[in-house]
């Protein structure tokens, strides 16, 4: 499933194409994705100009001149592309946005777990998918103090806490695992250990907040320059391989936590 860096890479790909362009027609090639499209979905967007394209957690939000906002999620297999004239298309091309510039933006989703919804911009923050989300990990609002406050008193493991979207918005399994390795923290340790009982950050909270920002920045840079490659990960999907931390003699282990695979070094992650 695409995680925050992949979604941000899509946003950066689409922004110069969509923002400032008028939507002349929206072509729906089926009545639904994960859920049915809203009533008059295509008609409500026709003639509107995209004013901004932002990302909230793993969601894309296109603000339109009509006063509506288009909320989009890629699901497990969704992707956007801007086809060339020679592009023959695909059976899983389910939505096509025709723009005033002559460009088309195509949404392809073989498994149809993605979704699109249209809501009033004034109420977009109260959309069921966006309400209650924690701070954006790459924003100034996310730091050691914010992370400590969210984890204070939590009896769950640190890895599971990081996947709670109310703790940090958009962080997924792969990059939580990678950030914990950079910070030298075990995914198995209790989340509350990075904060005092009163929610004051311990030194570990600072390391972890910085590691989360680092791993996401690096991943976004990779996504905008080259496709996904698992060999770029430090620990993810590297069970039984040597730890990549310099001079660490550890071997990476795999463990299931809340139904997701955690990869970590038992020597340098404590």
**So which residues are the catalytic ones?**
2-3, 58, 260
- C-alpha 269/C-alpha 235 separation (Å) is 11
Q: Tokens standing for 103?
A: 């460009």
Q: How far is CA 185 from the centre of its chain?
A: 22
Residues 112/33, Cβ–Cβ less than 8 Å:
yes
H-only helix segments in the chain = 4-18, 41-45, 144-151, 158-162, 173-183, 203-223
Question: Would you tell me the crossing angle of helices 173-183 and 203-223 to the nearest 10 degrees?
Answer: 130
CA atoms within 13 A on the CB side of 66: 19
CA-angle at 268, arms to 160 and 151, nearest 5°: 30
Geometric angle at alpha carbon 247, from 243 and 252, rounded to 5°: 15
The Cα-based distances of 9 to 5, 124, 266 in angstroms read 6, 22, 33
Helix intervals (H) in 99-143:
none
End-to-end CA distance of the chain: 28
Query: What's 230's DSSP letter?
Result: G
Distance CA 170, CA 213 (A): 12
């Amino acid at each position: 499933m695409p995680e925050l860096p992949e979604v941000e890479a899509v946003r950066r790909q689409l922004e110069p194409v969509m923002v400032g362009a008028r939507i002349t027609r929206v072509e729906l090639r089926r009545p639904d994705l994960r859920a049915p499209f809203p009533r008059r979905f295509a008609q409500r967007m026709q003639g509107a100009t995209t004013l901004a394209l932002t990302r909230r957690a793993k969601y894309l939000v296109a603000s339109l001149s009509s006063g509506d906002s288009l909320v989009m999620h890629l699901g497990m297999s969704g992707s956007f592309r801007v086809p060339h004239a020679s592009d023959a298309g695909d059976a899983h091309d389910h939505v096509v946005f025709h723009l005033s510039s002559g460009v088309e933006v195509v949404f392809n989703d073989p498994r149809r777990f993605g979704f699109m919804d249209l809501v009033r911009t004034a109420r977009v923050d109260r959309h069921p998918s966006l309400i209650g989300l924690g701070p954006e990990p790459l924003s100034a609002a996310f730091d050691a103090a914010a992370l400590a406050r969210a984890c204070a008193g939590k009896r769950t493991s640190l890895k599971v806490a990081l996947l709670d979207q109310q703790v940090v918005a958009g962080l997924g399994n792969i990059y939580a695992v990678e950030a914990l390795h950079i910070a030298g923290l075990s995914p198995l340790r209790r989340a509350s250990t990075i904060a005092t009982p009163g929610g004051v950050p311990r030194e570990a909270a600072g390391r972890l907040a910085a590691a989360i920002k680092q791993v996401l920045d690096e991943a976004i840079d990779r996504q905008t320059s080259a496709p996904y490659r698992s060999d770029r990960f430090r620990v993810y999907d590297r069970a039984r391989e040597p730890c990549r931390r310099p001079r660490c003699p550890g071997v990476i282990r795999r463990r299931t936590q809340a139904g997701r695979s955690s990869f970590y070094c038992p020597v340098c992650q404590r």
